[in-house]
Amino acid sequence: MRIQFCGADRTVTGSSHLIEVNGLRLFLDMGMYQGARDEARRINSYLPADVKSADAIILSHGHLDHCGKLPIAVRAGFKGPVYCTPATAEVARIVLNDAAKIQLEDIEQLNRQRGPRDEKLSELYGPNDIPSVTRLFKRVEYKQKTDLGRGVSFTFFDAGHILGSAYVVLEWAESGKPHKLLFTADVGRYGAPILCDPYPLPGTMDWVITESTYGTVSHGQIGEVEPQLLDAVRFCIQHKSRLLVPSFAVGRTQTMLWYMRKFVKQGAIPSIPVFVDSPMGVETSRITSQFSDDYDEETKAMLGEQNFCGLDNVTCAATPDQSKQINSRSGPLVIIASSPTCEFGRILHHLERSVGNANDLVIFVGWIPPQTLGRRLQDGEKRVRIYDRWYDVKCQVRTIHGLSAHADGDELLRFLKPTLAPQTSAFIVHGEVPQAEGFAQRLIQAGVGSAAAPAMETSVLVLGGTGSNVQMRPPGRTDQD
């Protein structure tokens, strides 16, 4: 068995890993790298060799950093099935269509700025590429074992991260001996709103590929999120100001609507205007309503037959004109808009108005990639560039990490507890270097046989079919070296 690490290695974006076992070539995720424009374009242009010959892609969930390179793979000739849960198929379709439109807009703007002799840039993919991807989706329910042939199968289990998210248990036999590999993808928090908790891990695994976004961090109790968010909303009510939430359209937007609904229902705040200024956020909220069977019991009771954009004080903006009308409004109000990096999307127009207002408040609700406008604001920089103009930052900026859809280090250990055993070898991905290496140490201290944080393009050869007997191949090395 061979593993090649193709993305989200020693960083938190661009998830992709190639598993070669029993003659099959299987990709776990095909995610897009998100970060500074030039670096993102360089990394996202990369595909592992012979991606067109892969037998299948197993997609954990619909976030862009897990599904965003599917159109690039299809352009390169991949024609196999893309296995995913039914909800993930809907979420990924929305996310990919949005990403394609943003790329076209971004490329058009960049080309307008280039000189007449400069080579024109082209998008990695556009809207016309998406149908050829979605036609490959093969929907698989949770807990349904799927046979891939040659003695290899996999099962999806609810990861509790976003709608439709799953962790993957891959099973096969070598020389008559059964083996299991766990790919956690992104694991959700316990007790978080809307979705059920991560499904208990079904026993010990030989190999684990685990995320580590917050591997050395503790979010604190999920109950600590509510008072922080409520304080921010009350501040804006008191000062008649604007609360901006640069948010993922998938998952985090619906969580924010959930909290606003709860605050009003409990009488903690009056019913102030809440705007979802994101076409993708609006559509995702509609899709979320279609999969209400995946809700936890509290959410089922609170929403009843209502959907997330069907509440009295919520306005969903789908068109640019509707977005402009929102930006002309004064507070108190809440605007939830894409994107969390603040590198693109409608949040930029709202920031232009609010960044210089001392009473306006920007709340970040999760991890933000380095070298982005969102991270600069989050890190407290006093002067930032929005579009082509520089602004002094006078608004308040807060971060509520507990709203993250990712488990923290303690919750990851809780989830992995059944396989914290000497026979388990762990590979730590989807984390910046301090988090990945720190979580590797935590796993070793907790009892796993070995743990490493591989670099991009590193390969692992498993010799003799045992979890503890592996050889690491550094980037640039081949199996014949």
What CATH number should be reported for the domain holding residue 346? 3.40.50.10890
Same domain, 117 and 239: no
> Using omega within 30 degrees of 0 as the cis cutoff, is the peptide bond preceding 339 cis?
yes
Note whether 466 and 415 are same-domain residues.
Answer: yes
Considering the domain architecture, whether residues 43 and 60 belong to the same structural domain is answered as yes
If asked whether residues 201 and 347 sit together in one domain, one would say no
Residues 458, 336 share a domain: no
pLDDT: which is higher, 177 or 481: 177
Distances from the Cα of 305 to the Cαs of 34, 162, 289, 298, 301, in angstroms? Answer: 36, 20, 9, 13, 9
Round to whole Å and give the CA distance between 145 and 142.
9
pLDDT of residue 376: 95
pLDDT for the residue numbered 222:
86
Per-residue model confidence (pLDDT) at position 423: 95
Judge whether 367 lies within some domain: yes
Residue 386's DSSP bridge partners are 389
> Last residue of some domain: 403, 424, 444?
403
- Tens digit of each residue's pLDDT (9 = 90 or more) over 35-91: 777 888 888 888 876 899 999 999 999 999 999 999 999 999 999 999 999 999 999
Cα distance between residue 25 and residue 58, in whole Å: 11
Same domain? For 261 and 126 the reply is: no
Give the pLDDT of residue 479: 40
pLDDT of residue 464: 57
For residues 428 and 369, state if they share a domain: no
Residue 3 pLDDT > 70: yes
Q: What is the pLDDT of residue 477?
A: 45
pLDDT for res 481:
34
Residue 154 lies in a domain: yes
pLDDT of residue 352: 93
CATH for 433: 3.60.15.10
118 lies in a domain?
yes
Residue at 378 is within a domain: yes
Same domain, 244 and 106: no
Same domain, yes or no: 193 and 232: no
Q: What are the backbone angles phi and psi of residue 300, rounded to the nearest 5°?
A: -60, -40
Q: Do 243 and 236 touch, CB atoms closer than 8 A?
A: yes
User: Residues for the chain: how many in total?
Assistant: 481
Q: Per the domain annotation, does 478 fall within a domain?
A: no
Q: How far apart are CA 244 and CA 44, in angstroms?
A: 29
| Any domain includes 78 | yes
**Domain check: are 137 and 180 in the same one?**
yes
Q: Which residues of 50-83 are buried (b: 16+ CB within 10 A; e: fewer)?
A: ebeebbbbbbbbbbbbbbbbbbbbbbeebebebb
Query: What would the 3-class secondary structure string for 452-480 be?
Result: ECCCCCCEEEECCCCCCCEEEECCCCCCC
Residue 479: inside a domain, yes or no? no
Domain presence at residue 480: no
Looking at every residue in the chain, the average pLDDT score rounds to: 90
Q: What is the pLDDT of residues 83-126, one digit of tens each?
A: 999 999 999 999 999 899 888 877 887 788 777 777 888 889 99
| 3-state SS class at 28 | strand
Of 355, 376, 403, at which residue does a domain stop? 403
Number of domains in the chain: 2
pLDDT of 328 reads: 86
Segments forming the whole domain that contains residue 104: 2-217+405-473
Please check whether residues 183 and 46 belong to one and the same domain. yes
pLDDT digits (tens, 9 = 90+) for 403-440: 888 999 999 999 999 999 999 999 999 999 999 999 99
Q: Are residues 357 and 410 in the same domain?
A: no
Q: Which of 403, 424, 453 is the last residue of a domain?
A: 403
Tell me the CA distances in angstroms from 179 to 208, 211, 304, 462, one per residue in order. 12, 21, 43, 12
